[in-house]
Amino acid sequence: MVVVTLYYYFMTKLYFRYSSIYDRMLSSLSGEHFLDSLAQEGDDFEKKITAYWEKYNDQIFQYYKTLGLILPEFWLAYPVHSKKSLIPFADPLTFPMKDNLDGVVSTVVHELCHVFFGYYENTEACKKLWDPIMDKFSAEDRITQEHLPVIILTRAGLRHVFGVEKAEKLLDVEKHYEG
């Protein structure tokens, strides 16, 4: 009984890690030059987003847990400097550094929702959301189909944390992405 109680109170933690090597490599792959001075900016941003995320971490993961998602003890997320040819992606969870920290949280939650769908222990829970969407939107291209359940989960999580009006404003940014 104690183990069940401890598991119930256990909360997933998202850890932010800035890696200048990773940032430099993505810059190189994007055809951009990485200045050594950017590494300190990355280290500073890691501290800033870690402190900011702290007030949302438990709210976000507890909400997704109530939907039946299985969440591990921790996940890692990597901030990088913005690059012209790079959009955020889920594996490894990578996102651009921005001054608008609410916007960063929105992006991170979106990418986490992709991660939830790829996490093997969520196969059954995600299938319940995935199958009806695939049936209803079978004529849409694959990237749109894949984003519909992610956007639904993202929107729900952001509304839970920020409220409807602010969540919708944060989600407006995503409308220019493919899919």
Is 5 exposed, middle or buried, given 0-12, 13-18 or 19+ CB atoms closer than 10 A? exposed
Residue 88, token pair as written in the block: 């955020």
Dihedrals phi, psi of 170, to nearest 5 degrees = -65, -35
Alpha carbons within 13 A on the beta-carbon side of 106:
23
What's the CA gap between 125 and 134, in Å, rounded?
A: 15
Burial 89-107 (b: 16+ CB within 10 A, else e): ebeebbbebeeebbebbbb
| Whole-prediction pTM | 0.88
pLDDT at 1: 52
Tens of pLDDT, residue by residue over 89-147, are: 999 999 999 999 999 999 999 999 999 988 888 888 888 888 888 889 889 888 888 88
Measured CA to CA, the distance from residue 59 to residue 161 in angstroms comes to: 7
CA–chain centroid gap for 173, Å, is 14
Q: In the prediction, which pLDDT does 82 show? A: 94
59-73: per-residue pLDDT in tens? 999 999 998 898 889
Yes or no: say if 86 and 26 are a contact pair by the CB < 8 Å rule.
yes
